[in-house]
Amino acid sequence: MTHQKDETPETDGELFDRLLIEAPTSEFEEFIANAPDWLRTKSMEFLRECKTRVDARIAAEPNKMVFSLANPHEVRVNCWYQIAERLEAEITFRTGKSNAKVAALLSTRSGDPEIAKRRSIVKANRTKSAKELRKLFDFHGVPLPSNWEAESWTEAYLNKTLRHTIQSLISRDKAHTAKPL
């Protein structure tokens, strides 16, 4: 007797779980970039369910002080933090609660999502130096400001003037993401 595969389509919740567990980094980055548009189409109940799912996955992870780009699982966990932020921002926006952190995340809908992406990386890696963060910016494809004459964050960091600018930018991002709720 052979078992036939159940042909019922996946629910949105099952698709979300599969994304958290199986998706490659590129799919995470695409999801995070398009999250505001996608989240607007979902019910509050579903958003809360997804937030609970991602929070449970994050809570099950050991609290590490060092993040390694060489470890694919740590990259995945970093993406989970970014997804949790996006979900929290949408839930807070819909419920009418206001705070500076959520307002900054939501402002990316009409502002610059690349700044939000950079700040999210800084927030998730607050203990890292500018030298370490610039590698993460390159890894995650955060574009450089258009007026910089460099091809990557790593190249820009080698320029003494731009190094100071990068260090200042990261300091401001750390201050921006440290504002209390």
Three-class SS of residue 49?
A: helix
Residues with Cβ within 8 Å of 20's Cβ and at least 6 positions away in sequence, in order, are 53, 54, 57, 80, 83
- pLDDT attached to residue 64: 62
Is-contact 114 76, C-beta < 8 A? no
Higher per-residue confidence, 98 vs 172: 172
Rounded to whole angstroms, the Cα distance separating 116 from 23 reads 22
How is 59-101 classified by DSSP, letter by letter?
A: HTS---S---TT-HHHHHHHHHHHHHHHHHHHHHHHHT---HH
**Cβ proximity of 156 and 131 under 8 Å:** no
Distance separating alpha carbons of residues 150 and 161, to the nearest angstrom: 12
Please answer whether residues 58 and 77 qualify as being in contact, where contact means their C-beta atoms are separated by less than 8 angstroms.
yes
Domain ranges of the chain: 12-110, 112-181
Picking from 61, 98, 122, 141, the residue whose alpha carbon sits closest to that of residue 154 is 141
Segment 130-160, tens digit of pLDDT:
888 888 888 888 888 878 888 899 999 998 8
First to last CA, the chain: 58
All residues at 6 or more sequence positions from 114 whose CB lies less than 8 Å from its CB, including other chains: 142, 143
pTM, 2 dp: 0.48
Question: What's the pLDDT tens digit per position in 62-112?
Answer: 766 566 667 777 778 878 888 888 888 888 888 775 444 444 444 444 356
